[in-house]
Structures are given as structure tokens and as C-alpha cells.
Structure 1
Amino acid sequence: MLHDFVRRITLRDDPDEIQGIAYQVFEHLFHLSRTHVLMGKEISLTAAEEDRLEEIATRINRHEPVQYVLGEAYFFGRKFMVNKAVLIPRPETEELVQAVLHHPLPGGPDARSILDIGTGSGCIATTLALALRPVKAYATDVSPAALQVAAQNANALQAPVSFLPHDILAEPLPFTNLSAVVSNPPYITEREQASMQANVLDHEPHLALFVPDDDPLLFYRAIATRAFPALLSKGLLAVEINAQYATDVERAFGIAGFIDMKTVRDIPGKDRIVMAVKP
């Protein structure tokens, strides 16, 4: 049955990737783990289930990401609802969260507070809120649709996060005495679109992806400038970055008043995270 579904996928992707997509679909639809499939567990499909499989295959063949097709993605082992209002959570963003969790935060165990700027699906804020409990967790986004998704995810996972609309490019942060500010802002330049895959370019929200070619640090300058007065002394600023601009982001953070800038490479070896501390 799984092999029949795989044959319906006409993408020119790596066969292992297509197989992985098929496993995700079968686990979602039929609660069959990869082990069950490999063991050849048989199930009888209803006509409605056959139609659903055909619809999923058709959407995948149009380069729609399987996460949007199924309406879910995993981050830190937890299931998050996703739709086209939010980016699909990615492994490198898990590394950003890990970096924050391994950094000592000011404020004491019962008085720490964190802010996630541009929260999207809420995966960063929700994961940190659960891992750092007790903590006051806040998350902002310019998109009302994204905030709705993020709030649903936090509620489903029973994470205490407060969400509010905010435009980091236009408004000061309405917070003080934060222990950490975290963000995965837009950082792909418009010229890089030419080398991007259709499943990202045609389906994920451009508002959350792209920055102008002539100002790739647009969001990092705003985040640093507005985060500095909102943080406690020794407070952490941690961001995900475009690997091309690590030195430039560090320099922008230094201009904003931060110290101890550090660039962290992701598992594939690319500069992916910049961290800095308020004096």
C-alpha cells in the first residue's frame, strides 16, 4: 500500500525523501508507524481514505510541503499545527532553542522572562516556555493569522505564553526586565529566490522569509535596538541568521550596545545563530 502511494509521487526528489513523506502521510492518516509499515501491517482502506490519499498525492506533486498538506509539523518532538500563515519549523531553529537553553539567564529560577519576536507557529516560544518553567513567556508577530496559529499551538501543548501583535520595525517593545530575547526573523535576500525550491518559494509566507537585497540586516538592527532597553543586565539576545551575514549581525549587535557576541554553527557547519549579552 505504501509502495503504491510512493509510485503516485512524481516529484524528482531523492527517493529517500519521497519515502519519508509517505511515512509521514501514513502515520498521520492511519496511525501506522514506520515499524508497522516495514512489518507489512495490512489495513483496509475505505473509499473516502482512498480519495484522501489521492488528494494528498496531488497536492504533494504540486510541490506543496507535506506539513501544510497534513496541517502539522514536529518541533522538539512536539506536534505543531501549521498552515500557510506560518513557516514550517525547521531543525536549525531547534538548534537556536538549544543554544538559549544552554545559556545562563538572569532573573533567577522564579523570575525569568523571555520574548520571541516574529513567533510564527509559536514553536520557539512554546518550547522555551515548557522547558524553562516557571518562566514568563511572551511572543509577538506582525501577522494576526500567525498569532492565531501560535496561540492554538500553545494552548494545545499547555504552554503559558502571552501573544500580542507587534511590528518590530515600527514600534518599541512594550516589555522591561526580560531575561532573553529570541528571534528567527526574515533573513533570505530577494536575489536568493532564484535558487530556492518551489515547495518553499510557492507556499511559505514571503512576509516571514524575505528581506530587501539592499538591506539584509533590516530586522537585526531593529531587534537589537529595541531589545537592548527591554533586557536585564546579562540578558541574552539570540537570533537565527543567514549564514552570509554572521559578522555583519555581530557588528550590528555591538553598535546597539551588546557585548560577548558569538556565532554558532549549525549541524551542517553553516553559521546559523548569533548570540550576544547586554552588559
Structure 2
Amino acid sequence: MKIKQYRTQFIKELSPFYDAYEAESFFYLILEDKHQLRQIDLALNHELFFSEADFVVWDSLLAQLKKEVPIQYLLGKTNFYGLDFEVNENVLIPRPETEELVEWIISENAASDRTKKIKILDIGTGSGCIAISLAKNLPNAEVYAMDVSKKAIETAKRNAAKNDVDVTFIFQNILETEELKCQFDIIVSNPPYVRNLEKQEIKKNVLDYEPHLALFVDDNDALIFYKKIASLAHNNLLKNGQLYFEINQYLGKEMIDLLGKMDFINIDLRKDIYDNDRMISCKVSI
């Protein structure tokens, strides 16, 4: 069968699960990954075809997509902040909103004195997307990254090697951490923040396949990670050090109140590309 014909069939079979634009994007992602062919290649050569062996691979992927397995897990990779990352069932798939958080940090620190090292700690690193992107784009950064999952740490280590950056990884549960071992210029975290009451808003591809350990918190203590990390930051941020968080879109006011009560200053709440409260930064009052 010609590839163009299969493309039509592929999109049609996914129509009960995804809109046509998304289904088409899946088709071209797989085409490039498995055959090193781009959309332009198919447009220029209508005679390209799949072999019988190709159909086995494509039909298997199609069956998984019908179950709403994330395309990133099927391909084993995704792009974040211009870098390639391995992703699997042990780590969250990096989101565009998190790229905005990374951009914020880089924009505020790229002009710093490059002869002076800055120490950064990423708490709950997952795939390592935040830590690795910062290490790649801030040459004077000494980056540390912590996670409670050994398998996530293993994935993040491979991503650091893939992207040719040095990151020190720490296997540790932040909720059980009494003190950090050194001082930092920047502490950043995208911790679990989705309340159980919000599960009905979560798409099936996230709810059924991404690690709940990295997603959900108890309804009655939704800010548990923020409280802990902010408390540690009080003792471990250097003078003029900055604390950055990605947050639950519904809890922006609560985060401002929390950080204010903990004597943080210069509290800055920002919206993401979808106009949701998503990022916050502050400094320790010294």
C-alpha cells in the first residue's frame, strides 16, 4: 500500500479518539522516527509505499494509540526546550508550560557573571528536563537534581549523557529531607500538585499511563511539597538566591499566601501560554 493511502486510513481509525490534526501529527512523528521521512518527502513522492514488515510496526503503534498510550512513550522520546529527551512510564512527559518556567530562569540568569559559578537544585527532576535544559543553557551553572524514583534518576542520567551536560543526581525523598547538604543560588521544582478532586479533568492518556507518584497530592494537603521545599530553601538559598515553582493553576493565591507567611519577598506569580496561573518565584528575606 502507498504511504499516502495508509495515512488516510491511519487518521480515520484514530478519529474516535483524537481530532484530525492530532492524528495527522502522530502519523508524521512516526513516519520520521521509523522511516526518516518528513511530510515534504511524502508530498514530493506519492509513490512511496510500506512493506509488509512496515505494516506490522505501524499496526502495532496504531493499536496502542487507540488505547490512548502517549505517542511520546511509544516513540520513547520527546523534545523539550530544543533538546531530545528519553521518556518512559517512569517519568512525566515534559509539558510546554514547563518550558516557560525554564525560559524564565534562563532569561533572569543568562546575563550573570560567567566567571562566577551558580549552583542550581532541581527537586523532583523526573526525566531531568529542567535540570538538563538549565545546564545546557547556563554554562556557569553547577546543577544538581533530586528525585524519589530510582528509575526516574536512571532515565535522567541517560538524558544528561545524551545532551552532553554534567548534572549531579541525588536519589532522595524531599519530604523526608531534614536539610540540604549545600547552599544554592537557585532552587526550582515542578512537584506533584494535581489534587485527587481534579482527576476528572485529566485526560485518559495522562491518567492511565503517566506516573501518579509525580502527579497527585492529597486534597487536604495540596501544598505539602511547596511547604517542605520552601522551608528548606530558607536555610539553603544564598543571598539574592531565587526559588522557582511550577504550580497548580487553581492555587495561585494560596501559593502567594504561603510564601508571604514564610517571609519570602519579591513574590512573582505568572501565567502560562494558556492564561493559567502556572509559575511563581520569590526570594528569601535577608
TM-score computed with the length of structure 2 as normaliser: 0.92
Once residues 140 and 207 of structure 1 are traced to their aligned partners in structure 2, the CA distance between those partners, rounded to angstroms, is 14
The one-letter amino acid paired with 2:154 is Q
Cα displacement (A) at 1:78: 1.4
The one-letter amino acid paired with 1:115 is L
The one-letter amino acid paired with 2:130 is I
Which residue number corresponds to residue 62 of structure 2? 57
Once residues 148 and 244 of structure 2 are traced to their aligned partners in structure 1, the CA distance between those partners, rounded to angstroms, is 19
The one-letter amino acid paired with 2:165 is A
The one-letter amino acid paired with 1:7 is K
The one-letter amino acid paired with 1:162 is T
Cα displacement (A) at 1:195: 2.3
The SS at the match of 1:276 is: strand
The SS at the match of 1:172 is: coil
Residue 42 of structure 2 is aligned with which of 37, 41, 55?
37
The SS at the match of 2:221 is: coil
Once residues 7 and 139 of structure 1 are traced to their aligned partners in structure 2, the CA distance between those partners, rounded to angstroms, is 43
CA contact 2:123–2:190 (8 Å) conserved in 1: yes
Cα displacement (A) at 1:83: 0.3
1:145 aligns with 2:151: yes
CA contact 2:76–2:86 (8 Å) conserved in 1: yes
Give aligned-pair identity as a percent. Answer: 35
1:193 aligns with 2:191: no
Which residue number corresponds to residue 21 of structure 2? 16
CA contact 2:72–2:78 (8 Å) conserved in 1: yes
Which residue number corresponds to residue 89 of structure 1? 94
The one-letter amino acid paired with 1:148 is E
Equivalenced residues, count: 279
1:256 aligns with 2:262: yes
The one-letter amino acid paired with 1:92 is E
Once residues 177 and 41 of structure 1 are traced to their aligned partners in structure 2, the CA distance between those partners, rounded to angstroms, is 60
TM-score computed with the length of structure 1 as normaliser: 0.95
After superposition, the C-alpha distances for 1:228-260 in whole angstroms (9 at most, x for unaligned) are 211111111111111111111122222333211
Instruction: Show structure 2 runs of 5+ residues with no match.
Output: none
Which residue number corresponds to residue 169 of structure 2? 163
The SS at the match of 1:96 is: helix
Cα displacement (A) at 1:108: 4.3
Residue 112 of structure 1 is aligned with which of 101, 111, 118?
118
Which residue number corresponds to residue 78 of structure 2? 73
Once residues 258 and 58 of structure 2 are traced to their aligned partners in structure 1, the CA distance between those partners, rounded to angstroms, is 49
Instruction: Show structure 1 runs of 5+ residues with no match.
Output: none
Residue 211 of structure 1 is aligned with which of 208, 217, 222?
217
RMSD: 1.7
Which residue number corresponds to residue 265 of structure 1? 271
After superposition, the C-alpha distances for 1:42-67 in whole angstroms (9 at most, x for unaligned) are 43433332111011000000010000
Task: Report the more deviating stretch, 21-30 or 116-125.
Answer: 21-30
The one-letter amino acid paired with 1:172 is E
Once residues 76 and 51 of structure 1 are traced to their aligned partners in structure 2, the CA distance between those partners, rounded to angstroms, is 33
- Note closer, same or farther for the CA distance 1:50–1:278 as it changes in structure 2 (3 Å cut): same
Which residue number corresponds to residue 251 of structure 2? 245
The SS at the match of 2:181 is: coil
Task: Report the more deviating stretch, 104-113 or 263-272.
Answer: 104-113
Which residue number corresponds to residue 231 of structure 1? 237
